[in-house]
A and B are shown apart, each in its own frame.
Chain A
Amino acid sequence: MIKKIKGMDFYELLNLRSDASPREIENAYLMAVSTYHQEGLASYGALGDLDRGLILDKIEEAFETLRDPEKKRDYDLLVIPGHPEFWQRAHFRRSTSKLQIEDASEEVNVWDKIKATARRSWSRKDGRDQRQDGYGPERLPADFYYYGDYLKKVRERRGISREDIADRCGISPARIELLEQESPPSFPHEEELLEGLKLYAKSLGFGSEKGRASPFSDRLDE
């Protein structure tokens, strides 16, 4: 049964499993923003500005909660028992506690096997999370399109000045402003704009290997 938005929790809103990694949460957030962004094609003709604004606010709220380990922990206590994969794991724990796996040489191998089995059963039972078409955010490619005005919004929300970002990226604040506006005349070659936006996003901790350790940190590790 497809849930209505009002009844969705943050994981459902972002199409995430409740055990999603920070990287998956970040991917799902970016995917959701690109879906409902006013410049995005996906919701064109389906939603008006008001509806887009409402869902983007919810997406922001979801991301703000799930990206923060403490907030996430509190939130998980409330919602995770309602998720099918929670019960799947709970059931699995109950059943495996009765097992005598004496032949296994190393405990870690047993757990690997258990996890692999559990994963297979998720992909069978929970079609929403493990679709064959890679709908789940865990399979998103890393080459996201980062919207300039959204990067600006994230920057402002985190209280980072344009000059700071410019420093981190090694380009001028004026150039950063042009990136935020995605102003085509300033970027005659599309690749230049895309690379600039990617660099800007990386400076905010999105999509970089280095940033992954603390992807939502306000300052760069590098």
Chain B
Amino acid sequence: MSELTKQSKVIWAIAGGKGGTGKSFLSANLAIALSVERGDIVAIDADLGGPNLHTLLGVRENGRDLGDFVRSQVNRLEDIALPTSFPGLRLVRGSENTLFLANLNHYKKLKLIRQIKSLPANGVVIDLGTGSAYNTLDLFMTASPGILVITPEPTAVENAYLFLKSCALRVLRAYARYFGIPDFEEKVSQGLEHSSSTLISFMENLAASDGSAGQVLSAALNNFKVYLVVNKARDRKDNHLGRSIVDVVRKYFLIDMDLLGTIPYDERVHWSLRRFSPFLFEHPESAVSQAIRSMAERLSLESPLVKSEEEPPPQA
């Protein structure tokens, strides 16, 4: 970290609309792969409803966790980022006091986001909880980019779209408030929340009634960058699913989505979990590990570490 600027730090948040898509699995293994790629990565278990990133990373000892930070028993997030058995990877454990954390209030959420942004590290991987709660959405949007994980099942795809729609609405509301767009809430309520119309048709109606508002809000959505990962792909249809979903999202949600990769289904994932051993570590040559490593490589290449300006040599 010493010779690298903090500006090199990237925050990746991993979410999925539905449980069981493999968010924590990807978070754990991607964090390991990224720690190999660029070193000094912090993985944060922000699954406020059911944390288990520590289990996937093979960390069995108890220690201070996110709950201690949120309850202000620890002032700095950095102080609870504890080393793991992987060099270059620290972990902020999730709290088992789920009820308290799932209902994180606004002030505490802002404090958490602020500290995540200022955490001294080369990268932060945030493992988010299931669903579209505001806390989850806000942490997802803190990242640049957020990574959405789905499995090739109708329920997962449906919930992923719901998640994206919720994110889009959060983005639109924030921009509408900032730019003082009149009657926006009413328009959202009538045109989107209580109707089956798509986001694009809502945006088109908005642009027809208020051209400049439509333009500003379309640009806001365009700037919202999301990656997609298809996990547990079993056949040729599944291998094409990611590209197709990206196309739907770009055309109908106006969100700048890109496919990060597809991870094949592998029965051995289950067994490595039973052994408390990260899959990437146990089966480094498997197709699953290769897919995750290539994702890490791509993410790292997109945000290269920048060397800080060297101090001038001392004058003789």
Binding site for B on A (CB under 8 A): 1-2, 4-6, 15, 31-32, 34-36, 40-48, 51, 55, 131-135, 140-141, 143-145
- Min Cβ gap B154→A in Å is 5
B157 lies within 8 A of A31 (CB): no
Expressed in whole angstroms, the Cα–Cα distance for A143 and B235 within the complex equals 11
Expressed in whole angstroms, the Cα–Cα distance for A1 and B256 within the complex equals 9
B158 contacts partner chain A, Cβ-Cβ < 8 Å: yes
B139 contacts partner chain A, Cβ-Cβ < 8 Å: no
B162 lies within 8 A of A5 (CB): no
B239 lies within 8 A of A42 (CB): no
B258 lies within 8 A of A45 (CB): no
Q: Which of B34-42, B102-110, B246-254 contacts A (4 or more CB under 8 A)?
A: B246-254
A42 lies within 8 A of B157 (CB): yes
List the 9 closest pairs (A to B, CB-CB), nearest first: A45-B158, A42-B244, A35-B244, A133-B259, A46-B161, A45-B161, A143-B236, A2-B222, A42-B245
Expressed in whole angstroms, the Cα–Cα distance for A101 and B241 within the complex equals 47
A145 lies within 8 A of B244 (CB): no
B241 lies within 8 A of A133 (CB): no
B99 contacts partner chain A, Cβ-Cβ < 8 Å: no
| Residues from chain A with Cβ under 8 Å of B198 in the complex | 46-47, 51
B241 lies within 8 A of A41 (CB): yes
- Min Cβ gap A197→B in Å is 12
Contact with A along B154-170 (1 / 0, CB 8 A): 10011111100000000
A–B complex contacts, Cβ < 8 Å, 21 sampled: A2-B255, A4-B200, A4-B203, A6-B204, A31-B244, A40-B244, A41-B152, A41-B157, A41-B237, A42-B157, A43-B248, A44-B154, A45-B160, A51-B252, A131-B259, A133-B259, A133-B260, A141-B236, A143-B236, A144-B240, A145-B236
B243 contacts partner chain A, Cβ-Cβ < 8 Å: yes
For A37, give the chain B residue with the smallest CB separation: B244
| Residues from chain A with Cβ under 8 Å of B241 in the complex | 41-42
CB-CB under 8 A for A2 and B244, given A44-B157, A133-B259:
no
B261 contacts partner chain A, Cβ-Cβ < 8 Å: yes
| Residues from chain B with Cβ under 8 Å of A1 in the complex | 219, 222
| Residues from chain B with Cβ under 8 Å of A32 in the complex | 247
Apart from A2-B256, A35-B248, A134-B243: 14 A-B pairs, beta carbons within 8 A? A2-B221, A2-B222, A31-B240, A31-B243, A35-B243, A41-B153, A42-B244, A43-B244, A44-B154, A46-B249, A46-B253, A133-B242, A133-B243, A135-B258
Expressed in whole angstroms, the Cα–Cα distance for A46 and B150 within the complex equals 14
Binding site for A on B (CB under 8 A): 152-154, 157-162, 196, 198, 200, 203-204, 218-219, 221-222, 236-237, 239-256, 258-261, 298
- Min Cβ gap B183→A in Å is 22
- Min Cβ gap B209→A in Å is 16
| Residues from chain A with Cβ under 8 Å of B248 in the complex | 35-36, 42-43, 46-47
For B249, give the chain A residue with the smallest CB separation: A46
A47 lies within 8 A of B252 (CB): yes
- Min Cβ gap B239→A in Å is 7
| Residues from chain B with Cβ under 8 Å of A141 in the complex | 236, 239
| Residues from chain A with Cβ under 8 Å of B218 in the complex | 4
- Min Cβ gap A42→B in Å is 3
Where chain A touches its partner, the secondary structure class is loop
| Residues from chain A with Cβ under 8 Å of B204 in the complex | 4, 6
- Min Cβ gap B250→A in Å is 6
For B214, give the chain A residue with the smallest CB separation: A4
Partner among B162, B221, B240, B258 whose Cβ is within 8 Å of the Cβ of A34: B240
Highest count of chain A CB atoms <10 Å: which of B241, B255, B256, B260 = B241
B243 lies within 8 A of A41 (CB): no
| Residues from chain A with Cβ under 8 Å of B256 in the complex | 2
- Min Cβ gap B207→A in Å is 9
| Residues from chain B with Cβ under 8 Å of A144 in the complex | 236, 240
CB-CB under 8 A for A5 and B200, given A40-B244, A41-B152, A47-B252:
yes
Partner among B154, B159, B219, B254 whose Cβ is within 8 Å of the Cβ of A41: B154
Expressed in whole angstroms, the Cα–Cα distance for A47 and B157 within the complex equals 12
For A4, give the chain B residue with the smallest CB separation: B200
| Residues from chain B with Cβ under 8 Å of A132 in the complex | 298
- Min Cβ gap A50→B in Å is 10
Highest count of chain B CB atoms <10 Å: which of A1, A2, A131 = A2
Expressed in whole angstroms, the Cα–Cα distance for A162 and B260 within the complex equals 42
CB-CB under 8 A for A45 and B247, given A2-B256, A133-B260:
no
B157 lies within 8 A of A45 (CB): yes
For B153, give the chain A residue with the smallest CB separation: A41
Expressed in whole angstroms, the Cα–Cα distance for A63 and B162 within the complex equals 31
| Residues from chain B with Cβ under 8 Å of A143 in the complex | 236
For B297, give the chain A residue with the smallest CB separation: A132
B261 lies within 8 A of A133 (CB): yes
| Residues from chain B with Cβ under 8 Å of A44 in the complex | 154, 157-158
A145 lies within 8 A of B237 (CB): yes
| Residues from chain A with Cβ under 8 Å of B246 in the complex | 135
